[in-house]
Chains A and B, each alone.
Chain A
């Protein structure tokens, strides 16, 4: 069954590690819709969060293939029902001088804060679950989105389990 799965990678922060991961994704034909990289809690390591679309077998292959990259130290699928995932968006919405309140009515539902007011635009910052951000975007499309930037997903498993458990 096709589903979306968030996967965490704990990797050596060596030059080229991002290329190694993305090159593998490309040549093995995996479908991803989000990839973020940031420093991990342990110095010298980075954490990647990747969301892939695929059936269970493809997710298993993805994890097994990633584990073969020498710089990748650990890979785990983050369980949907036991993880926290969040993403940040900056979005610039077109205004016509009449609809500011209508826009604010939408953005307030998502706790989006107004960070800039332009001549004919309003820029908001919001964060939340990837699905919530998706619905915020689709609601704002009705007013016209001039541009937007999303950070991609950051995710951690609930409880005490850590990707970098052997490295502390």
Chain B
């Protein structure tokens, strides 16, 4: 069957089971959008307000479904606008295929209108990228791109396609994708060796990360933890990968993690790390992290072994397989004393509650009130900053793929796009976006998308009128010199929402929070809630950068 390049793109997307793409049209992708018009009964295209929003939407779609996200943008600025979104996905190992148009082959390398070397630009933030100069290569490149994005440690792949290729005719034959099967590198002897280390230790803890969610290995992790009677701490990326109501869950680990997890890290004699990478936000002091503990690391990416922290033993392969192999090899154990010790630490190190105020709501109160209105399967999205950490501390996550946050890159402006992607993927669920006034100002243009598609997103702007996280660091480490973090903008987010065609509401203080949230959550319509919080609220506890739990800050002015 002879098709043009754009029809081949559409057919190849269908081969991969893609039914939804995000994007923004433009000159170099006119042919592709013409094909999308033709295939509109099979592929839904969600139009964003800005390509960055579309990239974050594809990312949110991927995180909450486990499928590969797809985003399409035109050449030049369309392509460069994707970069922050692609880098965000790369840092958090999220599978996204980005398709960009480019100028025609004969105009390439001539600084033509809207020409940019997007392959060169995106190289450090993609797993791989392609430029397809011949339509004969197109179908196979698309198939390869999906395979690369979804196999091993997942991540974004970019395909750049000159405009003439999208119009050229070529023979096309459908190919059914082969299931992705990640090679298990560790064998029985490795599992036995790891089990021997575990047997020799008395106070183990599990430090889990986003890999558990990415590998769909939550059930396998619960089995291991229960068999070992081993407490579990999660990185921010791992949230949802282990039910927080489980008796073995002890909290998030790292800079704004709990006192309990910090003490556990310092006092355990074994850390079993699963799908986590000892980032500087977890292992602030790489030398002292788990200083008295042996470390066993389970990961699919060999390059993560000994990258940040020296480990004692590694198990390599898909986490589902390595967790099963390890669980089989270990003995059923009970450790009541260790568990009791941990719960003692849990009772200490509590952060003091802020007194109730007429003028402000307390972020923890709002987060807990939202939790009372949501199901375990509802999706929580955040932007980046103080609000993100408060949600990671206080919201009770029970299921994988219910949490979307930019953990690695820390992209302010990520949230609304990601919420769009999550809501498009899950019309049956409620999506809640917690954002801050700083983050929301960055990409609130996507409110237009929320309104156009009438997406069920409850947007809660924790509005302190300051850039709170940076301001908190200025308080702690820069002598309270609040350089450019006190903008006190006058934006009325409720009115702004109305201008976009979205309902706007306000929370003034703790006493009206429940009522406003109750109304906001009563229907399936989008809403923006401007929630006033104090500019002096801090994220606590806090381990200062480069330090350990011994230097934990639990109180600030």
Chain B contact residue count (CB 8 A cutoff): 14
Query: Do A16 and B119 have beta carbons less than 8 Å apart?
Result: yes
Chain B residues 118-143 with CB under 8 Å of chain A are 119-120, 123-124, 127-128
Binds B, one of A44-52, A59-67, A85-93: A59-67
Cβ-defined contact, A57 with B306, below 8 A: yes
Q: Please report which residues of chain A, range 52-99, place their CB below 8 angstroms from some CB of chain B when the two chains form the complex.
A: 57, 60-61, 64-65, 67-71
Q: Any chain B CB within 8 A of the CB of A167? A: no
Given A19-B120, A27-B124: A67 touches B303 (CB 8 Å cut-off): yes
Q: Evaluate contact between A70 and B128: CB separation under 8 angstroms.
A: yes
- State whether A68 and B301 are in contact (beta carbons under 8 Å apart), knowing that A19-B123, A27-B124 are contacts in the complex: yes
Given B119, B127, B302, B306, which contacts A67 in the complex, CB threshold below 8 Å? B302
Nearest Cβ distance between residue A118 and chain B, in whole angstroms?
A: 39
B305 CB–A CB distance under 8 Å: yes
Q: Which of A23, A60, A65, A70 contacts B124 (CB 8 A)?
A: A23
**What residues of chain A lie closer than 8 Å to B123, measured between beta carbons?**
16, 19-20, 23
B124 and A64 contact, CB distance less than 8 A: no
Interface of A is mostly: helix
Q: How far is the CB of B234 from chain A (nearest CB, A)?
A: 25
Q: Is the CB of B127 within 8 A of A65?
A: no
A window 3-21: CB within 8 A of B: 16, 19-20
A64:B148 contact, CB within 8 angstroms: no
| Assembled-state Cα–Cα distance A68/B304 (Å) | 11
The docked-state distance in angstroms from the alpha carbon of A27 to that of B123 is 11
Question: Which one, A57, A64, A70, contacts B303 given CB within 8 A?
Answer: A64
The smallest C-beta distance from A109 to any residue of chain B, in angstroms, reads 44
Q: Which residues of A contact B148 (CB under 8 A)?
A: 70
> Residues 84-109 of chain B: 1 if any A CB is under 8 Å from the residue's CB, otherwise 0?
00000000000000000000000000
> By CB atoms of chain A within 10 A, which of B124, B301, B303, B305 has the most?
B303
Q: When the two chains form their complex, are residues B303 and A65 in contact, meaning their CB atoms are under 8 A apart?
A: yes
Min CB distance A103 to B, Å, is 45
The minimal Cβ–Cβ distance linking A119 to chain B, given in whole angstroms, is 43
A59 to chain B minimum Cβ distance, whole angstroms, is 11
B183 at the interface (CB under 8 A from A): no
The CA-CA distance from A70 to B123 in the complex, in Å, is: 12
A20 to B128, CA, bound (A): 9
**Residue on A nearest B310 in the bound complex, by CB:** A57
Chain A nearest CB from B102 CB (Å) reads: 15
* Nearest Cβ on chain A to B93's Cβ, whole angstroms: 12
**Cβ distance B253 to chain A, nearest Cβ, rounded Å:** 24
| C-alpha spacing A70/B128, complex, angstroms | 7
- A27 and B126 CA atoms in complex are apart in Å by 13
**What residues of chain A lie closer than 8 Å to B120, measured between beta carbons?**
19
Interface check B481, CB cutoff 8 A: no
Beta-carbon nearest neighbor of A64 in chain B: B303
Question: Smallest CB-CB separation from A27: which chain B residue?
Answer: B124
Provide the residues of chain B in CB contact with A64, threshold 8 Å. Answer: 302-303, 305
How distant is A160 from chain B, measured CB to nearest CB, in Å? 25
Q: Which residues of B contact A71 (CB under 8 A)?
A: 128
B307 on the A face (CB < 8 A): yes
Distance A57 CA – B303 CA, assembled complex (angstroms): 11
A70 touches B307 (CB 8 A): no
A61 close to B127 (CB less than 8 A): no
> B478 → chain A, closest Cβ, in Å?
28
Nearest CB on A from B155, distance (A): 10
Q: How far is the CB of B378 from chain A (nearest CB, A)?
A: 35
Report the nearest A residue to B157, measured CB to CB. A70
Beta-carbon contact of A70 and B306 below 8 Å: no
- Min CB–CB distance A87 → chain B (angstroms): 29
CB pair A61–B303 under 8 Å, yes or no, is yes
Residue-wise, chain A 16-38 has the 8 Å CB interface mask toward B (1 for contact) of: 10011001000100000000000
**Min CB–CB distance B366 → chain A (angstroms):** 40
Given B119, B124, B128, B307, which contacts A61 in the complex, CB threshold below 8 Å? B307
Binary CB contact string for chain B from 297 to 336 against chain A (1 if under 8 A, 0 otherwise):
0000111011100100000000000000000000000000
**Structural contact, A68 and B124, CB atoms closer than 8 A:** no
B350 nearest CB across to chain A (Å): 40
Instruction: Give the distance in Å from the alpha carbon of A57 to the alpha carbon of B305 in the complex.
Output: 10
> Within the assembled complex, what's the spacing in Å between the Cα atoms of A57 and B309?
11
What residues on A are CB-neighbors of B306 within 8 Å? Answer: 57, 60-61
> A60 vs B304: C-alpha distance in the bound complex, in angstroms?
11
Chain B residues in 8 Å Cβ range of A65: 303
Q: How far is the CA of A22 from the CA of B45 in the complex (A)?
A: 37
Instruction: Name B422-455 residues within 8 Å CB distance of A.
Output: none
How far is the CB of A6 from the nearest CB of chain B, in Å? 20
Given contacts A16-B119, A57-B310, 12 further A-B contacts (CB under 8 A): A23-B123, A23-B124, A57-B306, A61-B303, A61-B306, A61-B307, A64-B302, A64-B303, A67-B302, A68-B303, A69-B128, A71-B128
Can you list 11 residue pairs at the A/B interface with Cβ under 8 Å? Answer: A27-B124, A57-B306, A61-B303, A61-B306, A65-B303, A68-B127, A68-B303, A69-B128, A70-B128, A70-B148, A71-B128
Identify the 10 closest CB pairs spanning chains A and B, nearest first: A64-B303, A70-B128, A64-B302, A65-B303, A27-B124, A23-B123, A57-B306, A68-B303, A23-B124, A70-B148
